[in-house]
Amino acid sequence: MTGHNIWVYEEQTENMRLGLRVKKVLESLESKFQRIEVVETYQYGKMLILDGLYQTCDKWEFFYHEMLVHVPMFAHPNPKDVLIIGGGDGGSLKNVLKHPKVHVDLVEIDKKVIEISKKYFDFPQTGNFSIFLENGLEYLKRTDKKYDIIIVDGSDPIGPAQDLFKHEFFHLSYEKLRDDGMFVTQSGSPIIGDYHEYFFDTFKKLKQIFPIVLPYFTVVPIYPTGYWSFIIASKGPDPRTPKRKALKEMDLKYYNEEVHRASFAIPNFLLKRMQGELL
């Protein structure tokens, strides 16, 4: 194997994998919680991989982070206190901090992910935020704080992110939100295999707790199928309607008001399965 023929693969199902040719391996280690790798790829730039799953890459991180963050941030009338659970690479934090007068608490289980992301990715060095190194579920159990928005930026529901898809976690999130609060989580690809199931499972669990629950969609080229979902749950405000316009200085590369509204469009094959459960 020569330097020019190193490839990294994500086994996305037992019959499908996505391979990228690697220019350089920058980090490869085992933390207390997971295997962490950072590689420089020819196609997509630097990429963070946790337990073999592609998490983020220089080139396309904005497709995911801008949609995860700005849809709830602009749908809420006046977000001030935001909680991010997971998101140790800093992509979500960077985007929330683009909003004025916001304080962010970031709860990440793995200190190593933050250290590595400060070195290789765009993890904010300063700003109005606090970091808590702990399990998101445990944090919700112990905190007395109330939030306007809770953003769950975890990996797939295996390994350290498992707790972030439990009914108890969703229920505690509801309790820690103010009366007009909103919760959002990444919810996988609604197209294939296990991913498909965790999309529906997350939707159903949230429906038992929140009055308004809706999926919305984006494209993430490095994730399985490239077609990715989020589920947003609201205590009051309609998540489909942006309440403010993005400011020019936010320098957004994907999100705008039209994309916000359009991302809530649900294709027929999903509508069929969700019939009767939507608004």
The site for ligand SPD (CB under 6 A) is made up of: 53, 55-56, 87, 89, 91-92, 153, 155-156, 186, 223
Q: Which is nearer to ligand SPD, 65 or 205 (CB)?
A: 65
How near is the Cβ of 278 to ligand SPD at its closest, in Å? 24
How near is the Cβ of 213 to ligand SPD at its closest, in Å? 19
- C-alpha 23/C-alpha 25 separation (Å) is 7
How near is the Cβ of 161 to ligand SPD at its closest, in Å? 8
231 HSE (CA, 13 A, CB side): 21
Q: Are 51 and 35 in contact, with CB atoms under 8 Å apart?
A: yes
Determine whether 153 is an active site residue.
yes
* Radius of gyration of the chain from its Cα atoms, rounded to whole angstroms: 18
Q: Which is nearer to ligand SPD, 26 or 212 (CB)?
A: 26
Q: Express the helix, strand and coil content of the chain in percent, nearest 5 each.
A: 30, 35, 35
Which residues lie below 8 Å from residue 236, measured CB to CB, with a gap of 6+?
Answer: 179, 180, 211, 212
Q: Which is nearer to ligand SPD, 10 or 180 (CB)?
A: 10
Q: Which is nearer to ligand SPD, 10 or 40 (CB)?
A: 10
How near is the Cβ of 239 to ligand SPD at its closest, in Å? 20
Q: Which of 153, 179, 180, 201 is catalytic?
A: 153
Per DSSP, helices labelled H in 167-245 are 167-175, 193-207
Q: Which residues are catalytic?
A: 153
